[in-house]
Amino acid sequence: MITAKMGGARAISDQPRLISSFVGDLLLRSTQPLPQLFRYKPGCNRVSMQFSRSLSGLTNLLFNSRKLDDLPNSKRKSLKPGRVSPPRPVPKHIQRPPYAKSKMMPGIASGPEVHDEQGIERMRASGRLAAQVLQFAGTFVKPGIMTDEIDEAVHQMIIDNGAYPSPLGYGNFPKSVCTSVNECICHGIPDSRPLEDGDIINIDVTVYLNGYHGDTSATFFCGDVDDEARNLVQVTKECLDKAISICAPGVEFKKIGKRIHDYADKFRYGVVRQFVGHGVGRVFHADPVVLHFRNNDDGRMMLNQTFTIEPMLTVGSINPVMWNDNWTVVTEDGSLSAQFEHTILITSDGAEILTQC
């Protein structure tokens, strides 16, 4: 995921900025760790970017503060952090991405991920495994299950298949998957909080297999979910499907944002601007920045190119708040958020979804 420009409560201009949609994936050309990429004070939810990226014109990224107990007009309890268990070990024989040892933020790689025949086959393999892991993770979604248990299951399946869980150690991210519940927009850290009847949860899986990343996510229902949540999740999935349907060689990337934004508007849902899709393949995050809202960015799709599309929609405010863990991002007003993501390959006649079983 990447981030686009935003200025507090100000409207976003037609010149986007970014962060990545894997929380820390600040698709910035910088090798500095997350605390150096953001200006913040411990105990304060106000955060701003301190670097710019010429490609996106990112200036200041500002996360507004919100009280955790403040959930107006809702029967749901406000999401609160639980206990985070230690990172799970990965066998020494499994190939690791370069950032795994340093725990540093690698930044966004310059240039698109375009593959030869061998690279395409490896992308298919990593995408297929990511999809299978995500499908398996979804079977754990039920009331009473802790998100840390989902992380445990995901981690074990990934290493059992000889792959590395890409989020683990990325900018010091402590777990092997992202679990974002209810108002959490993205980058939720699995912890001891048990899922509750009526929750929705996005599970974001990325695997590193034979030197290639496969990245996907979906939002699942936990128990008896109300119509407000069901409709949001359905429309978010449809936004992703509609965006993928227009992809082909030579198509402008900005058409993705228009297609998603136009469809979301029909249901009066907000489209999160700060976190976006990205190139993926030999590196976790690469060009291009894929914006999910209307924009005038340049750039066209290329044959054999791989990237993610991962729209995040909200019932209410699109303004994000970052928790003190420097990863978890929630909606400012506590309203529900949903997300779906696929890694796709641009083919001669359209697009192939790599992250499906």
Binding site feature residues: 187, 204, 215, 278, 285, 310, 341
Query: If we measure between CA atoms, which residue out of 95, 93, 105, 100 comes closest to residue 35?
Result: 105
By CB atoms closer than 10 A (0-12, 13-18, 19+), residue 115 is buried
Tell me how far apart the alpha carbons of residues 321 and 295 are, in angstroms, rounded to a whole number.
23
Structure tokens at 232: 């949001």
DSSP characters for 304-323? TBEEEE--EEESS---EEE-
CB count in 10 Å sphere of residue 230: 13
Amino acid letter, residue 259: R
User: Torsion-angle region of residue 61: left (phi > 0), alpha (psi -120 to 50) or beta?
Assistant: beta
Q: Which residues are annotated as a binding site for substrate?
A: 187, 285
- Beta carbons of 14 and 26 less than 8 angstroms apart: no
- Beta carbons of 357 and 138 less than 8 angstroms apart: no
Tell me how far apart the alpha carbons of residues 214 and 324 are, in angstroms, rounded to a whole number.
29
Q: Which residues are annotated as a binding site for a divalent metal cation?
A: 204, 215, 278, 310, 341
